[in-house]
Chains A and B, each alone.
Chain A
C-alpha cells in the first residue's frame, strides 16, 4: 500500500468498526417519534462500565430531566461482560430535536431523535390500512389484465386501488439490511420506527431473550388510548408477522404462543385469520401451545364473540351487541381465493366455510364502527406473498384481485359513512415478479419454452370474462399470462397453473442440498431450471425470496394528500398518526411533564 493511502484506509477501518467499541443507543439515531408515544430507552455499552464514569445526557442535561425517571444500570447483561442502561416505558411530550449523548468515561456516542407533534384537530375518524403482503407491480399488472381486460390498447377499467388520488413509492429497507421481511416491514407501518428482519415492535438489541428487546408503541396501543376500536383481519395465521405487528413486541416473529398473549393483552377489538392451534391448551389435540392456557376461553371471558366459520362470523357481526370478535377459520392459513372459490384445493375440503378477506373486512367494519370514537383496521391479503414464495403465479394473482375487491368495498363503505375514513393501500415488501408475455399452447411443437410469446406475439391472454368479483372462472386457458420470478431455487418450470394444489418448487435432498422437487419433472413440457439462490447451508432457499424493490402506496380520504413522491415506509405511520392526531402527549405517571402538569393543576 502506498503511504499516502494509509491514513484514509485506517479512518475507514475505524468508521466501519466503531460500533464494536462505542455505545449503541435505542431508539436509534434519526428515529422519528410521535410526541407522547411510549418507548424503551436503552444504552448498550461495549464492556462492563464503572457507574461513576457513566454519563447519559439529553440535549446537554441529565436524561432523567427529559425522560422523567432514572434507568437501571445492568452491570452484566445476560451474564456477559457488557453493561447496559435500561429504562422501560417512557415518552417525550414536547416536540423537537433530542440529542442523546452517552459516555462510559472513555467512549462517547450520540444519537438524535426527532419528536414530532400531530395536529390538534383530528381530520380522519377512521383508518383502513390494506397490506398486500409481497404485493409487487407485476402482481398488480397481472391482476388488472385478468380482472379488467384490455380493449383498443387500453384497460377496460381501473383497479379500485388504482383509482385513488394519491400515490407514493415507499422504500422498505431496515436497520440491518436492504431486504426486509414481513415482520420489520409491517413494524415500520405500525410503529413508525425502523427495525431488523424478524422483529416486531422492538429494536434489535443484544438482549438474549427475544421478548426483552427495547419496545416501541404500536398503532393499536396509541389508538386504544384515544378510545378508538382496532382490528386486524388476514388470510394468514393471525400470529403471522403482518397482523402481529399490530400488537407484538418480540425480536422473533415465530414466537406464536407469546404473540397470542400479546393480542389478548392489547385488547384489540377484532382479529381474524387462521392459526388456531396456538390458542388451544396443550392438552387439546391439535394444540401447538407448550402450556395449558386456553386462550379461546380467555377471549370468550373477555367478551369476544368467537367465530370459526364464515356463517358464525356473519351472525356475530350482524348481532348489534357484538363489539369484540375473534375469528379463527383454519388451523393454518386461510385458503386463497383461487382454491376457496374455484379449484377447492388446499384445505378447502377440511375447512369448507372459510371467509375471504373481503367478507372478513365487511364483518370487521360492522363491529368496529359500533365504536363512535372511530377505528383503525388492518386488512391483509397475506398469500400474495406466500404464493410468490412458492412461485405459484395464478394463486398470487387471484389473491391480488381479492385485495382489490376488499379495497373496492372499503371505498364504498367510506363513501356511505361520512367520507371521513383514510384508506391506504400498499405492500410491505416486494417480490421479483414480472409479466413478460403469455404462454400459447396453440403454437406448434412440444417445447414449452418456444410457446412463450413475447412482445407482439404475446397478444392478450384468453381468460374468460371475469365474474362480478373480477375473477375469470378458468385459469388453465390456452393463452395464459406468463408471470416470472427473478430469484429462485432449482425448480421444474411447468409453464402451466397448478390445478392440484400450491406449487412446492424445491426440497432438500439427502445430502442437505436444496434441489428441484421431482414431483413435477414428468409433467408434459416441464423443464428443469437451475436456480440462482443459495442451495446449500443454513440459508439454502427452497422457494422464491423477497426483493428490495420499492412498493406502491395509493391513498384517499382525509390526510391522504401527504402521500406523494418517495417516502420511507415509516412515513406511512406518521400519515396515520397525523390524520388521527395520535401525538397528543399521554405520558406515564412517572414522566416529568405529567408531574409538572399535576403540580400546576393543584396550585
Chain B
C-alpha cells in the first residue's frame, strides 16, 4: 500500500529553484568544478556487498569509486548539533527519539556528508541528492568524535 505513494516518485527533486538558491554556495566550493560533471550514482543497495553483525563489506563498485565524484540519494538525519558541518544521509527517513538523540540511534549503513559550504535547511522527510567525492575508511570527526566509515566530502546538497 505504501509503495504506491512512495516519496521517490512523487517528490523527485525539482532542481531549477534549488539550484538558484545554491548558487551562493558554489562560489565557496573549491572542488566544485571537479565534481560538476559527476555522473556515477551510488545507491545504498549497491554500496555494500554485505551488511553483517560483525561488519560491513563494500561492493566492488564502491571501492572502485573511492576518491572519485559520486552522487547519492537519501534522507538527511537531523544533525547531532545544529552547527555541525556534517550530517548523516540515510536510506530511509529516521525517527530519532528526542531523549536519546545520539549516533547510537542511527543505523549502521549510513553515509556521512561533509559539506563544502553552509548547510541549506532541508525537510528531513524529503529525499535529497548529494554530490561530492567518495571517501571510504574509518574517520573520527575531530570536533564531535563521531565515527564514520563512508563519507562524501566537499559535498553539495540538492533537495
Contacts and interface: CB of A to CB of B under 8 A. Distances in A.
Q: Which interface residue of B51, B78, B97, B99 has the most chain A CB atoms within 10 A? A: B99
B1 to A, nearest CB: 6
Interface in B35-79: 51-58, 78
B121 interface: yes
B17 to A, nearest CB: 13
Interface string A136-177: 000000000000000000000000000000000000000000
Interface in B88-129: 92-100, 102-105, 107-109, 121-125
Contacts of B93: 504, 507, 517, 519
Contacts of A318: none
B103 to A, nearest CB: 6
A389 B99 CA distance: 11
Contact of A500 (B1, B57, B147): B1
Interface stretch (A187-195, A326-334, A568-576): A326-334
Nearest to B125: A507
B83 interface: no
A89 B87 CA distance: 41
B50 to A, nearest CB: 9
A510 B56 contact: no
A253 B97 CA distance: 13
A543 to B, nearest CB: 6
Query: How would you classify the secondary structure of chain B's contact residues: helix, strand, loop or mixed?
Result: loop
B140 interface: yes
A290 B140 contact: yes
A400 B30 CA distance: 55
Nearest to A533: B98
B59 to A, nearest CB: 12
A239 interface: yes
Contact of B97 (A351, A389, A523): A389
B54 A280 contact: yes
A576 B127 CA distance: 50
A276 B108 CA distance: 9
A523 B149 contact: no
A303 interface: no
Interface stretch (A71-79, A113-121, A281-289, A404-412): A281-289
B106 to A, nearest CB: 8
Contacts of B102: 254, 256
Contacts, number: 129
A499 B3 CA distance: 10
B147 A289 contact: yes
B55 A280 contact: yes
A498 B2 contact: yes
A541 interface: yes
A328 B53 contact: yes
A519 B7 contact: yes
B44 to A, nearest CB: 11
Nearest to B101: A254
B149 A256 contact: no
A504 B95 contact: yes
B124 A509 contact: yes
B104 A350 contact: no
A500 B100 contact: no
A256 to B, nearest CB: 4
Contact of B145 (A290, A308, A508): A290
A198 interface: yes
A500 B10 CA distance: 18
Given A504-B95, A542-B95, A523 B53 contact: no
Given A328-B53, A499-B1, A507 B99 contact: no
B53 A282 contact: no
B57 A331 contact: no
Contacts of A389: 95, 97
A509 B104 CA distance: 23
A507 B53 contact: no
Given A287-B55, A499-B2, A508-B124, 11 more contacts: A181-B100, A280-B54, A286-B55, A288-B147, A296-B54, A504-B92, A504-B94, A509-B125, A517-B125, A538-B98, A542-B97
Q: Which 7 A-B pairs have the closest CB atoms?
A: A286-B56, A254-B102, A331-B108, A507-B125, A510-B121, A500-B2, A285-B56
14 contacts: A254-B100, A277-B108, A280-B55, A286-B56, A330-B53, A331-B108, A332-B108, A508-B124, A509-B124, A510-B121, A512-B121, A522-B5, A543-B95, A543-B97
Interface of B: 1-3, 5-7, 10, 51-58, 78, 92-100, 102-105, 107-109, 121-125, 136, 138, 140, 145, 147, 149-150
